[in-house]
Amino acid sequence: MKAAPVLLVLALAACEKRQPVSHIPRGEAVRLARESAQDAFARLSGELAKAIENGGPVAAIPICSAKARPLVAEVASRRQLGLRRLSDRPRNPQQQAGGKDLATIESFRAAIRNGSAPEPTVEEMPDGTTLVRLPITVSQPLCLQCHGTDADISEETRAAIRKLYPDDQATGYRLNDLRGIWQVTLSPDDAP
Ligand code: HEC
């Protein structure tokens, strides 16, 4: 019965060989993720600035509500990758972070508390995709008009938010606080 262990070893070796999963190189993944997040952020900011200029934050909320997700989806489809905004305290409940996303938010927040800049994280999945998570901070005073404390948000703006997002959790932030993350999903063929 000496053959049994040998067969087992051969079977395991064959098993290992069957799945040569290759991922996009890590440095390239971070570069592409950063570029895509910046692209989407620029589009969102542009849309937001235009809407605020035309009618203040109150008018900008329904516009933001209708356009934010399609705009992010458009950038994702143009670049052929996955792109999502997530938060531990979301405005839109569809953008609630859980699992690894939530853990990453907590680690980014700890980094900020310790006075260091949160660095993107890279997670290689068994199916060959790579998930990159990047911090989203309250980078401009503008954000506070809709995500700040009671002193920053006007009564009308608060009412407009409540109407569209009765379960809103996305207020009470201060400048430079962590607001959430970009979650970028890349496949091996995203490598140039
Ligand atoms: C005019 C009001 C307004 C301003 C100003 C604003 N936001 Fe938002 N924000 C919203 C609304 C409305 C949503 C929900 C959009 C949706 O339904 O996807 C949102 C959603 C988000 C989300 C997605 C997670 C979630 O909570 O659903 C992030 C992240 C975010 N905002 C960050 C920012 C940052 C950073 C700034 C400043 C650069 C900013 N926002 C400025 C209104 C605003």
Q: Whose CA is nearest to atom 23 of ligand 1?
A: 85
Cα dist from 82 to 77, 116, 146, whole Å = 8, 28, 26
Q: How confident is the model at residue 141 (pLDDT cuts 50, 70, 90)?
A: very high
Residue 13 CA to ligand 1 center (angstroms) comes to 50
Q: Please identify which residue in the block is written with the tokens 């991922």.
A: 23
Task: Give the mean model confidence (pLDDT) for residues 51-70.
Answer: 93
Residue 115 CA to ligand 1 center (angstroms) comes to 25
Largest CA distance in the chain: 83
Whether residue 67 has its Cβ less than 6 Å from ligand 1: no
Task: Give the mean model confidence (pLDDT) for residues 50-77.
Answer: 94
pLDDT at 160: 96
123 close to 186: Cβ distance less than 8 angstroms: no
Whether residue 32 has its Cβ less than 6 Å from ligand 1: no
**pLDDT one-digit tens code per residue, 142-178:** 999 999 999 999 999 999 999 999 999 999 999 999 9
Mean pLDDT of the chain: 92
Q: Is the pLDDT of residue 14 over 60?
A: no
Q: Whose CA is nearest to atom 2 of ligand 1?
A: 146
Q: Which of 52, 112, 137, 179 to mutate to test the pocket of ligand 1 (most atoms within 8 A of CB)?
A: 179
Q: Whose CA is nearest to atom 3 of ligand 1?
A: 146
Q: How confident is the model at residue 33 (pLDDT cuts 50, 70, 90)?
A: very high
pLDDT at 191: 74
pLDDT at 2: 55
Residues 6+ apart with CB under 8 A from 142: 48, 49, 52
Q: Which of 92, 105, 145 to mutate to test the pocket of ligand 1 (most atoms within 8 A of CB)?
A: 92
Closest alpha carbon to 133 in 178, 71, 70 = 178
pLDDT at 190: 83
pLDDT at 21: 84
Sign of CA dihedral 153, 41, 25, 186: positive
**pLDDT one-digit tens code per residue, 76-111:** 999 999 999 999 999 999 999 999 999 999 999 999
Cα 55 from Cα 40, distance rounded (Å)? 23
Whether residue 111 has its Cβ less than 6 Å from ligand 1: no
Q: Is the model more confident about 92 or about 8?
A: 92
Whether residue 91 has its Cβ less than 6 Å from ligand 1: yes
Cα 190 from Cα 184, distance rounded (Å)? 12
Q: How confident is the model at residue 10 (pLDDT cuts 50, 70, 90)?
A: low
Q: How confident is the model at residue 189 (pLDDT cuts 50, 70, 90)?
A: confident
Residue 66 CA to ligand 1 center (angstroms) comes to 12
pLDDT at 12: 58
Q: Which two tokens stand for residue 51?
A: 């809407």
Closest alpha carbon to 170 in 145, 139, 151 = 145
